[in-house]
């Protein structure tokens, strides 16, 4: 597949073919929506209910970082003349990605969300490394560093729950069962024609299937290392 290797600055954007303009706008809009989608699920419920004051501080800090990631994606959209600040007030049911329509009733859910869904977020952002859209480069390193922090905090919290006894372990397993399948679905259809166009235009690096396979290879051993059971992948829908 021939790949586009130029670097596009905002001033070049209007001269690009419509397909490029549409794909870049779509990619950044979905990412902005995902970044703000997390805080919309957990801030009200968990900021002042997390188990300790340190955890409450960490939830607030994670939310602040996600809001900042959203702010950066909206800035990148602004540079190409798109104002999508409407996503800030979008109802949860209208989020771009199913994961952000879910509820998070237990602390184990918050932890599993960090371990598994922020991990998918890391994969999505990883696609943008060496993007043909130059301004992304300025923001990615810090965002990726912060995502890794969210993921490891989620893992630590699950580990604590597992160690706390049968009730904690049961909650941790239930949360892994729920969010693992949601996470696998986030990679999208295996035979997505759009993904090939993203790759050709230098806006993504991997197909949905490749990314999902690498994700499974990375998280399955982590779930086992927690002493938990890897959920049944066949419950996933989009890639069957
Ligand atoms: Fe984020
Ligand atoms: Fe995150």
Which domains does the chain carry? 15-235 (1.20.1260.10)
- Nearest ligand, CA 114: 2
Task: Say what the pLDDT of residue 239 is.
Answer: 60
Query: What is the mean pLDDT of the segment spanning 100-120?
Result: 97
- Nearest ligand, CA 115: 2
What does the pLDDT look like over 194-223, one tens digit per residue?
Answer: 999 999 999 999 999 999 999 999 999 999
| Residue 237 in this model has a pLDDT that exceeds 90 | no
Query: What is the mean pLDDT of the segment spanning 59-83?
Result: 98
| Residue 8 in this model has a pLDDT that exceeds 80 | yes
Name 44's Cβ contacts closer than 8 Å, sequence gap at least 6.
none
User: Which candidate, 68, 63, 11, 22, places its Cα nearest to that of 39?
Assistant: 63
d(CA 188, CA 184): 8
d(CA 174, CA 162): 12
The pTM assigned to this predicted structure is 0.96
Tokens encoding 204: 């993504």
User: Which candidate, 2, 7, 1, 4, places its Cα nearest to that of 202?
Assistant: 4
- Nearest ligand, CA 140: 1
Distance (Å) from CA 172 to ligand 1 centroid = 23
Percent of the chain whose pLDDT exceeds 90: 92
Neighbours of 156 (CB within 10 A): 14
Cα angle value 191/220/61 (rounded, 5°)? 95
| Residue 18 in this model has a pLDDT that exceeds 90 | yes
Name 155's Cβ contacts closer than 8 Å, sequence gap at least 6.
111, 114, 115, 222, 226
What does the pLDDT look like over 125-166, one tens digit per residue?
Answer: 999 999 999 999 999 999 999 999 999 999 999 999 999 999
d(CA 25, CA 20): 8
Residues by chain with Cβ below 5 Å of ion ligand 1: 35, 66, 69
Distance (Å) from CA 22 to ligand 1 centroid = 23
d(CA 144, CA 119): 10
Across all residues in the chain, what is the average pLDDT? 95
Task: Say what the pLDDT of residue 190 is.
Answer: 87
Are 35 and 90 in contact by the 8 Å Cβ rule? The answer is no
The HSE-up count of residue 183 (CA atoms within 13 Å, CB side) is 32
Name 144's Cβ contacts closer than 8 Å, sequence gap at least 6.
122, 125, 126
Distance (Å) from CA 203 to ligand 1 centroid = 18
d(CA 227, CA 234): 21
Task: Say what the pLDDT of residue 13 is.
Answer: 97
| Residue 240 in this model has a pLDDT that exceeds 60 | no
Are 106 and 171 in contact by the 8 Å Cβ rule? The answer is yes
């Amino acid at each position: 597949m021939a790949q586009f290797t130029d670097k596009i600055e905002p001033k070049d954007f209007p001269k690009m073919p419509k397909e490029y303009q549409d794909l870049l706008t779509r990619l950044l809009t979905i990412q902005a929506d995902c970044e703000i989608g997390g805080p919309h699920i957990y801030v009200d419920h968990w900021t002042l209910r997390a188990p300790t004051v340190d955890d409450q501080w960490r939830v607030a800090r994670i939310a602040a970082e996600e809001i900042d990631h959203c702010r950066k994606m909206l800035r990148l959209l602004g540079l190409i003349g798109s104002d999508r600040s409407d996503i800030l007030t979008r109802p949860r049911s209208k989020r771009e990605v199913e994961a952000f329509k879910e509820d998070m009733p237990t602390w184990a859910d918050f932890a599993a969300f960090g371990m598994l869904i922020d991990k998918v977020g890391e994969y999505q952002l990883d696609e943008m490394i060496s993007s043909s859209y130059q301004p992304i480069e300025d923001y990615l390193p810090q965002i990726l560093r912060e995502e890794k922090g969210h993921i490891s905090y989620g893992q630590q919290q699950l580990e604590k729950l597992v160690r706390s006894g049968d009730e904690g372990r049961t909650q941790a397993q239930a949360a892994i069962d729920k969010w693992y399948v949601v996470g696998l679905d986030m990679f999208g259809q295996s035979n997505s024609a759009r993904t090939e166009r993203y790759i050709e235009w230098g806006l993504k690096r991997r197909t949905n299937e490749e990314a999902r396979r690498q994700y499974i290879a990375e998280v399955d051993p982590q779930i086992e290392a927690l002493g938990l059971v890897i959920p049944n992948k066949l419950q996933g829908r989009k890639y069957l």
